[in-house]
Amino acid sequence: MKKELIENLKKLREKARAGGGEEKLAARRDKGLMTARDRIEGLVAAGSFMEFGMHVKHHCRDFGMDGKELACDGVVTGVGNVDGRPVAVFSQDFTVQGGTIGHAHAQKIAHLQEYALTNGIPLIGINDAGGARIQEGEMALKGFGDIFYRNVQSSGVVPQISIIAGPCAGGAAYSPALTDFIIMKQSNAQMFITGPEVIRAVTGESCTMDEIGSAAAHASISGNVHFVAEDDAHALQIARRLLSYLPSNNMQNPPHRPTAIVNVQDDPDMAKLVPDDAKVPLDMAKVIDRLFDENTFFEVMKDFAKNAIIGFARMQGIVCGIVANQPMQKAGVLDIDASDKCARFIRFCNAFNIPLVTLVDVPGFLPGKFQEKAGIIRHGAKMIHAYSASTVPKITLILRKAYGGAYIAMCSKSLGADVVYAWPTAEIAVMGPDGAANIVFKKDIVAHAEKARNEAIENGKSPDEADRVARNAADECKKAHADEYAAQFATPYRAAANGIIDDVIDPGKSRALISMALRNTMNKRGTRPPKKHGNMPL
């Protein structure tokens, strides 16, 4: 082969690798930002990246684009090795036309999506783009549609992870929203459909970019973001850790590393986490840290709907998805946001064969005018649908309160839980004793109050004093009936007698028993009636 051909190839490759030029690359690095290729190199093993489409060019001739060269058309795509397995990666290059998405740019991503889907490997998209390339008009929009379609085709087949490492504007934000997890940098990154200026022009509302497009807003208010990263390097670290819990595709099991022998040693200190007073909230985070393998809990969406906890962990080496109430926040109730958060996570775990461990301490669904008008019925039903449709191993542990519909929604036996354990502190009932007493014994409470008031009047008490006596009598009567109700229902033994829990266990045995339950259900094969899909109450 002629030497000049090789030299020409080297020059073309160097030019493509330079993106928008060495000055722009250096300027980014001076700001503490990684370039598109820096991000890929920071994610995959050295020397393992196999690039696709380095020489792809755009075909736009309008608005000054004729003859304009755009290195790699603003996106680097290919496959690299992450912790011993192939992962498809694309990284948008903001130094090239602001990373805007034209038709050729989109086709490179779409080709990578098809490659990942065909070969059953995860896909990570590093987003840093100013939205659609306006000069390309409808062809840019077609490119978006091609990407969205493949996002959906890949959903539930291969894990899809999005990193928001810069601007992600307009239609570009919908592709990350269609993926399984979004990691967003806490600074130098924005995600929005319409910016502050457009909002002001159309609606007259004034807002800042931080209010609508920052990582803080999306992680805590909108619920669009699952993880917040300090910088580029931290975002890549989160992506690698997330992959460590996931299979490459839906036909594989998660990367379990089961211990050779199940450790059945008791943990007597587990019981110490339960407050003596039933009205004092239990900290579920401490239970999780003690129950699962040390330093393996990886919380998802920790800043959104804090009354629920979701995340991944290992139980004596077995990968688990955890769904739990957090009584330290809103008493652990299920509300609209918590229901959405849990339901989507449950469906993800089911799609990728990840066993579910559910930890229950729930007083019910959150009451209130806003919740009812905003659709708590519909949102709460999402959890019921998600658990009922799941065929992975499902292990449930009831720690304390398990009231009403929220108890059912937290993977009760009725929704297909394979094993349900309860601590002696568990209370399984339609509602709490106080609320039940007000309904079941209402006539008796009213009669006691009226009798006490009449007696007070007969004894010469003033009307105000008589009312106070009546209230005290009502409270005493209600307490007696609440104690009566609690004696029957505020224990796990009635539920155990009726077979809706499998065993009442010593808290110290929780880790050993859940470990055994997981091992015993690893070969579970569940089926559902043939259908395209269910109609989830979205």
The angle, 0 to 180 degrees and rounded to 10, between the axes of the packed helices 103-119 and 138-154 is 10
Whole-angstrom Cα distance, residue 484 to residue 480?
Answer: 6
Based on the residue annotation, tell me whether 71 is a catalytic residue of this protein.
Answer: no
Based on the residue annotation, tell me whether 497 is a catalytic residue of this protein.
Answer: no
Given a contact cutoff of 8 angstroms between Cβ atoms, the answer to whether 445 and 485 are in contact is no
Based on the residue annotation, tell me whether 170 is a catalytic residue of this protein.
Answer: yes
Planar angle of CA 26, 30, 34, nearest 5 degrees: 75
Per annotation, catalytic residue among 132, 405, 417, 490: 405
- Between the alpha carbon of residue 73 and those of residues 70, 94, 102, 113, 165, the distances in Å are 5, 11, 8, 17, 18
Per annotation, catalytic residue among 20, 170, 311, 432: 170
Report which of 418, 405, 398 is spatially closest to residue 493, judged by C-alpha positions: 398
Per annotation, catalytic residue among 406, 466, 473, 486: 406
Planar angle of CA 242, 244, 248, nearest 5 degrees: 95
Q: What are phi and psi of 69, to 5 degrees?
A: -90, 135
Strands 419-422 and 394-403: parallel
The angle, 0 to 180 degrees and rounded to 10, between the axes of the packed helices 463-489 and 433-440 is 110
Report which of 142, 22, 162 is spatially closest to residue 91, judged by C-alpha positions: 162
Q: How many other C-beta atoms can be found within 10 angstroms of the C-beta atom of residue 319?
A: 25
Given a contact cutoff of 8 angstroms between Cβ atoms, the answer to whether 180 and 159 are in contact is yes
- Collect all residues with Cβ–Cβ distance below 8 Å to 518 and sequence separation of at least 6: 315, 318, 320, 355, 357, 393, 395
Whole-angstrom Cα distance, residue 288 to residue 286?
Answer: 5
- 125: which strand partners? 90, 162
Report which of 291, 285, 284, 296 is spatially closest to residue 267, judged by C-alpha positions: 291
- 396: which strand partners? 358, 420
| Residue 139 three-state SS | helix
Whole-angstrom Cα distance, residue 90 to residue 101?
Answer: 13
Given a contact cutoff of 8 angstroms between Cβ atoms, the answer to whether 76 and 37 are in contact is yes
Beta strands in 174-283 (DSSP E): 181-185, 190-192, 227-229
Based on the residue annotation, tell me whether 405 is a catalytic residue of this protein.
Answer: yes
Q: What are phi and psi of 426, to 5 degrees?
A: -70, 140
Per annotation, catalytic residue among 42, 171, 223, 416: 171
Given a contact cutoff of 8 angstroms between Cβ atoms, the answer to whether 91 and 75 are in contact is yes
**Which residues are annotated as catalytic?**
170-171, 405-406
